[in-house]
Structures are given as C-alpha cells and as structure tokens.
Amino acid sequence: MEELTTTTTIGGGRRLRHLFMTMFLTSFGGVIVIPAMTDMTGMGSVVMTPLIGNLSDRYGRKALLTLPLLLSVIPHVILAYSRATNFFYAYYVVKTLASMAGEGSFHCLALAYVADNVPEGKRGSTFGVLAGVGSASFVGGTLAARFLSTALTFQVAAVFSMIALVYMRIFLKESVPGGGAMTQPLLKEGQEPCLQQCEGDSSNMTTGTFKKLPSVGDLISMLKCSTTFSQAAVVLFLNSLVDGGLMASLLYYLKARFQFNKNQFADLMMITGIGATLTQLFFMPIIVPAVGEVKLISMGLLVSCISMFVYSISWAGWVPYALAGCSIFGVFVRPSICSIASKEVGTTEQGMIQGCLSGISSLANIISPLIFSPLTALFLSDEAPFSFPGFSLMCLGLVLMAAFFQSLMIQVVPPIAVCKSSSNHCTETMV
C-alpha cells in the first residue's frame, strides 16, 4: 500500500524518533526511583502483556501505549506529593496493580510499533537501537539518582513520566495494522491456529484481527505451528531465566566473596549499561546485516556462557569488572529474538507475538529467583554440600549453554515475495 511504503521510508524515521524519545523519558522516570524503591512485579504481567499486545493489533499501538504510560505516572505522583506512611502504603498498592497491568506492556507495544514501520530486513537493527535507547535511559537515570535527594527523586520521576505521556499523545503517530500482511499469519479469524498454518490453499491467506482474546492455547498453537518461533521462545525463556537468576544471586556472591558493597555493584551495573548502550546504538546496526540475527544470538549466548563460568570461579576483585565488558555481547540476544519472531507473523499479529515473548520473559524472571536465590544462599553458607561459592553462577552458565545449543537449531526460512500489480503491497508465503 502507498501508506505503508511512505511509512517505511520517509515518515518511518520521524515516527521512530518520537517512539525513541517516549521510550527514553518513561524509562528514565522508572529507573531513577529504582535505588529508592524496588519495583514490584507479579504474575499479572505474564497475562496482561499478551492481552494488551493483542488489543493493540485491533485498536492501534498508540491507543494501548497510553495505558502503561498512564499507570506509570500515578505511583510516582503519590510519593512525589508525600512520603508519609499512608502515602507509602498507597504507593505500594497502586504500584503493584500498575505493575500487574502494565509491566512489560510498553516494551512489547514499542517493538510492535517498530515492526509496523520498519521492513523485515532492518528490524533487527532497529530493535537493537530501541533497546539501546532503553539502556541509555538506565545509565542516565542511575547517574541522576546519585545526585538527587530521595524526595526530589520521586518528583523528577513523576515529571519525566508525565512528559513521556504528553509527548507520546501529541507527537507519536498512530500505527493501526491491517494494510496488507508481509507474512502469512499464524492465527486467522474463525479458524483453529494449527489448521490454518497447515493449509496449502493460498486463497485463504488473508490477514484478520483476532476476535477472541489470547489464551494459553493460542500460544501453544503458535509454538506448534512455527518451529522457528518455538525455538526462539525456548532460547528467550532460558536467557531470561539467567537474567533473573543473575540479578538475584550476583550481589550476594560478590559481597560474600570479595566484600563488595552497593556502590561497587552499582559501578558494575553502570559499566554494563554504558557498554550495552554503545553496542546497541552503534554496533548492532552494523553487525546484524552482516551476520544475521541467528548467528548474533549464538555469539551472544556463547560469550555470556563463558563469562558466567569465569564469574563462578572468580579469584580476585578485579575479575567481575573485567567480565562486565563481556556482557555487551549478551545484549544481542533479546532484540534478535524479537526480530526473528516478528517475521513469523503478519502485521496484524505483531502485538500478540511481542506480547507473548514478553510474557514468556516475565514468567522466567518470576521463576528464576525462586530457584537461584535459595541455591546461592545454600552455597554461601556453612551448610553447603561442598565448597563452591559460585556454584549457582555455574548453574546459570549451564543454562546459557543449553540456550546456546538451542540457538544453533533455529532455522529461519526466507519468504518468497509475490507482488500484485493491482496494489503496492506484497504478500509473502513461507517456503
């Protein structure tokens, strides 16, 4: 379609600039309060992200982006007004509910918005840039939190969150899918998911919106119907399992092993954040076209696996600082997986596919601390079965190794484009 062509060439860059600015503002507002108040998450995000992503496929990305941005403002405003006990409890309740409804939703909607406006060949690079903007907001928010008082921190967070909401509503253009699918959808209106994927009748290759809300059955059907998506989902789950376990165990390990304090741990996080920002913003757009998403995933997992094994046997306090630089390879994984998954569905299913990936990641982040926190505590105590303080980190390395071998089995099948002279869009069938 003419509108799609214009969007992906001239108007697409302008739209994405507004999306990147919205991402930076809202992430900055969230990150700046992390040192003062730990974020509350729950099982609600596992359910809500696919739901919100699915609704965005029908009602547009901008309309649904308003929900997580609005929900992020309210808790900050409460503590910006007062930090009295009653306001703290109100913050706790509202933040918990907001996290259940909007945790992870913004990022999955942003990824779907990028997929709407960027052709398949450039999605991997653009997803990396989007992640780099998020990493830059993490670095900026962490630095700002060091120089602001606790009271001022929440006020600044509230202001940035409100600016992000207003900026998005004014400048971000609506992205309503439905103008010609670029790939055959996994799910179609009124059909069983797996049945339609196995059909060979090209006359049924139309893209429709979902009339039913996403369910576990829909996700299972997508996993069965697309081998590529199922393999990528397994890799994402394992990688997210490691991310959650690392955050739950690394601080305790470094404190027990090398007497690290919170400032030293914050320095490690800053090194990692700066490295991730530079890698995603400047190097990933160059590397993705050269080697492809699949090889980039495998490379990132392999380097991360080796780094984790070295972490587990760290012999000096400088080793974690040296390994922090290697973490830049790990940031390739998530954007590349999202790019691969986005190419497996049509334009009216981008919200649901990204929401499902966010739900899988959230589920792994919930499960991981339940496994690795007790394991870390056990091997750092006097009751450990054997002397190996970094045993939990070695287990994380084994999980990364499993993810690496799984990534080697990902087969991305190139689509065959069939252009119709009667219109300006291409419908692609999968080989």
Domains contained in the chain, CATH given: 2-183 (1.20.1250.20), 193-416 (1.20.1250.20)
Tell me: the pLDDT tens digits for 24-37?
Answer: 888 877 776 664 44
pLDDT band at 1 (very low <50, low <70, confident <90, very high): very low
Q: Return d(Cα 115, Cα 319) in angstroms, integer.
A: 39
CB 33 within 8 A of CB 157: yes
pTM of the model: 0.80
CB 69 within 8 A of CB 164: yes
Find all residues with CB under 8 Å of 255, minimum gap 6, and list them: 261
CB 87 within 8 A of CB 79: yes
User: What's residue 427's pLDDT?
Assistant: 37
For residue 89 the two structure tokens come to 């409890």
pLDDT band at 237 (very low <50, low <70, confident <90, very high): very high
Q: Among 219, 212, 186, 193, which Cα is nearest to 363's?
A: 219
pLDDT band at 322 (very low <50, low <70, confident <90, very high): confident
Tell me: the pLDDT tens digits for 341-389?
Answer: 988 888 788 888 888 888 888 888 888 888 888 898 888 888 888 888 8
Q: Among 389, 387, 390, 386, which Cα is nearest to 398's?
A: 390
Q: Compare 37 and 334 and report the one with higher pLDDT.
A: 334
3-class secondary-structure state, position 61:
helix
Tell me: the pLDDT tens digits for 198-224?
Answer: 444 333 333 444 445 555 566 677 777
Backbone angles phi, psi at 178, to 5 degrees: 120, 5
